[in-house]
Copies of this chain bind each other. A is one copy, B any other.
Amino acid sequence: MDVRTFCLGVLTMGDASGYEIKKRLEGPFQHFYDASFGSIYPALNRLQDEGLVTCTHEAQNKRPDKKVYALTAEGRLAFIRELSGDPGADRVRSEFLVLMMFAELLPLRHVSKVIDDRIAALRGIVDQISAQACAETSPSHRFVRGYGLAMYRTAIDYLTENRHLVEGDALMAQVKEDRTNGHAPAVKAAQAAE
Contact in complex: B150, A158 (CB < 8 Å): yes
- How many angstroms from the CA of A92 to the CA of B93 in the assembled complex? 7
Inter-chain contacts of A91 with B (CB < 8 A)? 34, 91-94
In the assembled complex, the CB of A146 is this many whole angstroms from the nearest CB of chain B, namely: 6
- Per the 8 Å Cβ criterion, residues 140-191 of A in contact with B are 140-144, 146-147, 150-151, 154-155, 157-159, 162-163, 165-166, 168-169, 186-187, 189-191
A79: interface (CB < 8 Å)? yes
Is A49 at the interface (CB under 8 A from chain B)? no
Cα distance A76–B104 in the bound complex, in angstroms: 13
A residues 88-131 touching B (CB-CB < 8 Å)? 88-106, 110, 114, 117-118, 121
Contact A140 to B155, CB < 8 A, known contacts A84-B190, A88-B95, A186-B77 = no
- Which of B33, B99, B139 interacts with A83 by CB under 8 Å? B99
Measured between beta carbons, the chain B residues less than 8 angstroms from A142 are 165
User: How long is the Cα–Cα vector from A180 to B34 in the complex, in angstroms?
Assistant: 36
In the complex, which of the residues B103, B139, B154 contacts A168, with contact meaning CB atoms closer than 8 Å?
A: B139
Residues of chain B contacted by A117 (CB below 8 angstroms): 86
Whether B193 lies near A101 (C-beta < 8 A) is: no
- Chain A residue total in the interface (Cβ 8 A): 73
| A56 lies within 8 A of chain B by Cβ | no
Q: In the complex, how many angstroms separate the beta carbon of A171 from the nearest chain B beta carbon?
A: 11
A134 CA to B104 CA in the complex, in Å? Answer: 17
Q: Which residues of B contact A101 (CB under 8 A)?
A: 9, 28-29, 140-141, 144
Q: Is the CB of B77 within 8 A of A87?
A: no
Most buried by B among A146, A158, A159, A191: A158
Asked if B86 and A105 sit within 8 Å, CB to CB, the answer is no
Q: Tell me whether A147 and B158 are in contact in the complex, defined as CB-CB below 8 angstroms, given that A93-B33, A94-B90, A114-B86 are known contacts.
A: yes
